[in-house]
Structure 1
């Protein structure tokens, strides 16, 4: 039986045996994110957290909330990276649908929903691209209809007309022709998460596009064991679609700044520059370490890869300096 893509993604990713809820394997077994690519990413976020802590006046408790925390990889890296003084004030929460991973620092909270009244930083790295959405395409008469999919085979057919809510979102955010990925569920999810921040900031890191660059054929795809595959929503692979980042930014209703990861990381000290050759003659061991770090930084800042991701930053309850922390 064919169903809409939003329901199909929900079942495939978060159902009883969905891709993200299996305990015997994690997302890192199937695809590589900035968090998995290099500790330099966590180091850059740690510096950003330090700047935010200063902007907040070094509160007695600094909340750090990781939405879509996976198996706690980013949390673990940050706890090992931030200064001891700040680490002693951190109240860390991982938000994820899977049970608490073994070996996680005991002080870390683990829950399925975002906590209320956060003072500090809420961060979501490659979370919104897995928030389920519907897809529409025009029929032969030009009328937009929902795309239905068979969960077993991935075969698609055209179904009923697009809903009024879908058309409202399309008219504002995706007015071009072709295959349209309706982003309002991502807008709603991000707005709800940002609303939990009482004072501090929210950071979304994800791959996406803006209105002037919407892809005519859409971006829906699958990943399994490190390879891109057909997005069959049977639970055997990740099913993901790029995020309409400008729509998400506006939905939160608070000031924002949006830049590419390449730019953000360079400001935070990750630039991928090769070490000088003179260092190889005077201190070969240091040269090799610097060269390795440069390679990892180059991957994180590659404009055709991870460096092309968007960083969406919202400051809440801060003065204008809060939008310029990187």
Structure 2
């Protein structure tokens, strides 16, 4: 049955309610390709980051079906790994990998949130003809929209701080990222000690998109974002607001990097191997050529390389290789 509500409420039902998109058997990998699916080089880079920080435990928030953790077991079997997701523990997950629906308290860890925050639903506001930001409401089964009440109180305060709309033209949109800030702060707080890394497509105060970033995906293709449980519904992340929330929760030494910068600092270069290697060791040449292609995809401008990394120390410093990248 179709119903009207704010985008945050509608998307939460569609993604995480009974029969929701993220609880379906095929998991996220059945619909879109992330850095984890693009290459094991991504998992290798995160394993190197954990070791550079002298951490032996990795917690993957928004773990999907555990793909990143499985890749990390092959790369560094001595790491202790734990997945966090609203979905049940996958049947095929190796028994050495822990699983829960909340970030566990415990030993120091590298906490990784790869494309997690973009699926924490948020509300949308649109400036009306009088210059007033109003909450956008959506019909669940069709995606039709209408303007609802004026943004007020905490919503208005967040907008004034992070996405000001004073003087914006009618039709200008913004997305209230407070739920992402709260989710990240809670994860940082539960971590206690270690490194917290959020990786997502995002923007900051200097690059807020005036039309917003609402999008839908199904089976590898962009589709109209309809909150009916048949597609992913997502928004880009206000990374500066998330970083501030992490610091308010006890993190420090925030480092903001593009994925291109971060992965290169972690050894993912994408350099084509010398052709002489093809003569002396054809197998090694082909392996190196494959790695170069995969590294290119992970660091490509206009693609995965433009993802934003928020790296924060919790009771420890961010390793120099990322601070100096």
How far apart in 1 are the matches of 2:309 and 2:204?
A: 13
How far apart in 1 are the matches of 2:34 and 2:230?
A: 19
Contact 1:3 1:148 in 2 (8 A): yes
Contact 1:222 1:239 in 2 (8 A): yes
Report the CA distance between 1:79 and its aligned residue.
1.2
Answering whether residue 177 of structure 2 is matched by residue 179 of structure 1, we say: no
- Correspondence list, 1:227-306, <5 A: 227-253=221-247, 254-255=251-252, 256-306=254-304
How far apart in 2 are the matches of 1:164 and 1:218?
A: 21
Report the CA distance between 1:283 and its aligned residue.
2.7
**Alignment partner, residue 49 of structure 1:** 50
- TM-score norm. by structure 2 comes to 0.93
How far apart in 2 are the matches of 1:319 and 1:44?
A: 18
**Alignment partner, residue 16 of structure 1:** 18
Report the RMSD for the aligned CA atoms in angstroms: 1.6
Answering whether residue 14 of structure 2 is matched by residue 25 of structure 1, we say: no
**Alignment partner, residue 164 of structure 1:** 153
What is the DSSP-based 3-state SS (H/G/I as helix, E as strand, rest coil) of the residue aligned with 2:75?
Answer: coil
Answering whether residue 210 of structure 2 is matched by residue 216 of structure 1, we say: yes
With over 3 angstroms needed to count, the CA separation of the structure-2 counterparts of 1:321 and 1:25, relative to structure 1, is: closer
Answering whether residue 106 of structure 2 is matched by residue 105 of structure 1, we say: no
What is the DSSP-based 3-state SS (H/G/I as helix, E as strand, rest coil) of the residue aligned with 2:211?
Answer: coil
What is the DSSP-based 3-state SS (H/G/I as helix, E as strand, rest coil) of the residue aligned with 1:10?
Answer: helix
Contact 2:53 2:318 in 1 (8 A): no
**Alignment partner, residue 59 of structure 1:** none
Choose the corresponding residue for 1:193, options 187, 190, 206: 187
What is the DSSP-based 3-state SS (H/G/I as helix, E as strand, rest coil) of the residue aligned with 1:122?
Answer: strand
With over 3 angstroms needed to count, the CA separation of the structure-2 counterparts of 1:319 and 1:274, relative to structure 1, is: closer
**Alignment partner, residue 140 of structure 2:** 151
Q: In the comparison of the two structures, how many residue pairs are matched?
A: 313
Query: Which one is further off, 297-306 or 194-203?
Result: 194-203
Report the CA distance between 1:107 and its aligned residue.
2.5
With over 3 angstroms needed to count, the CA separation of the structure-2 counterparts of 1:118 and 1:144, relative to structure 1, is: farther
How far apart in 2 are the matches of 1:29 and 1:246?
A: 31
Answering whether residue 313 of structure 2 is matched by residue 315 of structure 1, we say: yes
Report the CA distance between 1:280 and its aligned residue.
2.5
Deviations 1:30-88, CA, capped at 9 Å, x for gaps: 000000100010011111111112xx6xxxxx432111000000111111111x5x33x
Report the CA distance between 1:2 and its aligned residue.
1.4
Report the CA distance between 1:324 and its aligned residue.
3.7
Contact 2:312 2:318 in 1 (8 A): no
Report the CA distance between 1:320 and its aligned residue.
6.7
How far apart in 2 are the matches of 1:37 and 1:158?
A: 39
How far apart in 2 are the matches of 1:320 and 1:104?
A: 30
Unaligned runs of 5+ in 2: none
What is the DSSP-based 3-state SS (H/G/I as helix, E as strand, rest coil) of the residue aligned with 2:313?
Answer: strand
Report the CA distance between 1:118 and its aligned residue.
4.3
Report the CA distance between 1:111 and its aligned residue.
1.1
Unaligned runs of 5+ in 1: 57-61
- TM-score norm. by structure 1 comes to 0.92
How far apart in 1 are the matches of 2:317 and 2:132?
A: 47
What is the DSSP-based 3-state SS (H/G/I as helix, E as strand, rest coil) of the residue aligned with 2:192?
Answer: strand
How far apart in 1 are the matches of 2:323 and 2:117?
A: 24
How far apart in 2 are the matches of 1:19 and 1:325?
A: 39
Answering whether residue 130 of structure 2 is matched by residue 141 of structure 1, we say: yes
Contact 1:220 1:240 in 2 (8 A): yes
